Amino acid sequence: MKKKINFTALEVEDIEGNKHQVNIAKALGNMLYMNGLTIEECDLGRAIYYSEGEMELDEKQAQSVLRVTTGYPYLSRHVIEEKLG
């Protein structure tokens, strides 16, 4: 099953409950590209880096993203896990 996520506009909530959109496409794409275990992961990193909106990821791609975001701060990681987990 394909999962949709927009890395250029992830919605996170601050301590007061205000919602903010954050763009992690460049940071995440670069991280996946530089740490990819396969050419497919490097290609996915490039696609995320240059993405301009919502992307569809298959299960294998989603798992690759989840693997490299394990060290991300909780709030960003939680939003990604909700969308892809």
Backbone angles phi, psi at 19, to 5 degrees: -95, 140
User: How many Å apart are CA 66 and CA 54, to the nearest integer?
Assistant: 17
Rg, C-alpha atoms of the chain: 12
Structure tokens that stand for 3 in this block: 């999962």
* Domain ranges within the chain, ordered by starting residue: 3-84
Structure confidence at residue 69 as a pLDDT band (50, 70, 90): very high
User: How many Å apart are CA 74 and CA 48, to the nearest integer?
Assistant: 20
Of how many residues is the chain composed? 85
Provide the whole-model pTM: 0.90
pLDDT in tens, 27-55: 999 999 999 999 999 999 999 999 999 99
